[in-house]
Structure 1
Amino acid sequence: MFPKVLDKADLQARELDIIDATIALIGKSGVENITMDKVVAAVSYSKGTVYKHFLGKEDLFLAVSNHATNIMLDLFMRAAKFDGCSRGRMLLLHVSYLIYAVLHPALFQSVQCARSPYVHAKASEERIAEKDHLEERLMGTVISIIDDAVSAKELVIPSHMTALQVSFSSWSASYGAISLLATEIEQCSGSIGMIVEQELYNQNNLIFDGLQWLPLTKDGNYKATLVKAIKTVFPSELALLKSLGRDFNFG
């Protein structure tokens, strides 16, 4: 009897099974404790089958990171297409980043690991090319909002900065706020009582007001817009958040 020949869809489904099992292991014991033997033990496939999909642990980590980027890209693209002013859409995009972090804490925690040169040195060329393509699309989605703001004369990028640097300034603020305050991940001492979505909102508005990105905070009803936009753009994610007992409160 000949072995079953799997088509592309079957192979992708099997690969996703292995990725999902790895994410579950990361959630339980942390990325630093993952081994290929533990992954093999967690799936219904043989060691040889797992290695047919991944060169080793590093290649698997990069596959997990690419999976995470795909999730973020979907959220970011939906936020970017929202019918609103450029600044409101950028705020929504950053809220979508928080949604991603809350719903996928293991991915949020582990994605930086995949950026290690050690991981890249042992990952497949195909996986690295996929990473570069996904990150280009992700950054392009963010930059498109900034370009729209410039075209609409809602933002003048300072002469000493680029659109990429504007994007980085707001992303780093959001990443810091989520890393330090999201109780679903790990809240640092000294910040008890602060609510992550409120501080993400505050930090980004400080940056956007400093850039004179119109309308300014005092002139825009951004809190009400965000509440409405989340319900419109992310209904399924909102339902998942509520099932976790999580409601966003912008103060």
Structure 2
Amino acid sequence: MASTAPHLPTQPDTSLPGESRKQREIRLREARILAVARDQILEGGYLGLNMDRIAAQIEYSKGTIYQHFRNKEEILLALVNDALNTRLRMFRAAAAFEGPDRVRLATIGAAAEAFVEHYPYHFKVEQIVRAASIWEKTSPERRQLMQTCEHSCMGTVVEIVHGGVASGDLTLPEGVRPEEVVFGMWSIYLGVQIISHSSDTLADIGIDSPSRSLRLNQNRMLDGYGWRPLSDDFDYSGHMDRVKQQIFRHDQFSQ
């Protein structure tokens, strides 16, 4: 087996707090495996992911790869978890934006858009992982990591809606909870992503910009709840464009 030193990923030569040299080498080797796997998926999709090719590219034995990941399904889920962790960091950065709660929510929307743009492979990989035939082959530990990260992302958004209610900018009808508002917005977002990634004929039915339609429908939904400032009183689309450039550039949230 080739020496490990030349094949560590090119990232800052620092250890995590309390991390031994061996633990650091294991972590960086795993990161290298995932980086190569990510490239293979971008080139050939799920069928393009191959343990032998990964081993050959990083010049390790296949046995070394299996010490980190027991199968390629486990690699897929690890890639999803890496991306979801990035999305969570982006959501939390958005939530820290100073301004009315609905503007902060739009900032999270900008983060969600930027995430899809920066990590185009992620959405397809996440849908593959959710298939029962793939999900059942992954470890409970990695599945739990995915679910915990998803819950944290949603919790970040729900907290902002609660803030809108507490400030008086949003008055929900009786029986409607903030979680249901977030679920509605997330459903619109997810639907747009599914359709955009599976159809190349949207322009034929008059949808030239799915992201514009997404923003429009989410804003109309929130206007319907009367959440101030309304979309006629604040340029949410312009705000989202600005923060995507200022806060969510690719170099600020790289994996």
Normalising TM by the smaller chain, what interval?
A: 0.7 to 0.9
Q: Which runs of 5+ in 1 are unaligned?
A: 241-251
For 2:251 and 2:184, how far apart are their aligned partners in 1?
A: 27
Could you list the per-position Cα deviations for residues 86-123 of structure 1 after superposition, in whole angstroms to 9, with x for gaps in the alignment? Answer: 11111221221111111111112211222233333221
Deviation of 1:53 after TM superposition, in Å, equals: 0.6
**2:116 aligned with 1:101:** yes
Could you list the per-position Cα deviations for residues 20-67 of structure 1 after superposition, in whole angstroms to 9, with x for gaps in the alignment? Answer: 111111111112442333433333322111111112122111111101
Query: Which segment is superposed worse, 151-160 or 41-50?
Result: 151-160
CA contact (8 A) 1:58 1:123 kept: yes
CA contact (8 A) 2:169 2:228 kept: yes
Query: Which segment is superposed worse, 81-90 or 110-119?
Result: 110-119
Which residue of structure 1 aligns with residue 12 of structure 2?
none
For 1:134 and 1:34, how far apart are their aligned partners in 2?
A: 24
Which residue of structure 2 aligns with residue 154 of structure 1?
169
CA contact (8 A) 1:76 1:96 kept: yes
CA contact (8 A) 1:230 1:238 kept: no
CA contact (8 A) 1:88 1:226 kept: no
Which residue of structure 2 aligns with residue 12 of structure 1?
27
Which residue of structure 1 aligns with residue 93 of structure 2?
78
Aligned mate of 1:188, from 174, 189, 200: 200
For 1:25 and 1:159, how far apart are their aligned partners in 2?
A: 50
Which residue of structure 2 aligns with residue 167 of structure 1?
182
Which residue of structure 2 aligns with residue 49 of structure 1?
64
Which residue of structure 1 aligns with residue 211 of structure 2?
197
- Normalising to structure 2: TM-score of the pair? 0.80
Query: Which segment is superposed worse, 205-214 or 40-49?
Result: 40-49
Which residue of structure 2 aligns with residue 237 of structure 1?
250
Deviation of 1:160 after TM superposition, in Å, equals: 4.3
Query: Match of 1:14, as an amino acid?
Result: R
CA contact (8 A) 2:110 2:243 kept: no
CA contact (8 A) 2:110 2:241 kept: no
Deviation of 1:173 after TM superposition, in Å, equals: 1.6
For 1:144 and 1:44, how far apart are their aligned partners in 2?
A: 46
Deviation of 1:186 after TM superposition, in Å, equals: 6.7
Aligned-partner SS, 2:92: helix
Give me the identity figure in percent: 27
Which residue of structure 2 aligns with residue 245 of structure 1?
none
For 1:15 and 1:239, how far apart are their aligned partners in 2?
A: 22
- Normalising to structure 1: TM-score of the pair? 0.82
CA contact (8 A) 1:101 1:108 kept: yes
Report the aligned-residue RMSD.
2.6
Deviation of 1:239 after TM superposition, in Å, equals: 8.9
Q: Residues 207 and 39 from structure 1, CA distance in 2 versus in 1: closer, same or farther, beyond 3 angstroms?
A: farther
CA contact (8 A) 1:142 1:167 kept: yes
For 2:251 and 2:187, how far apart are their aligned partners in 1?
A: 24
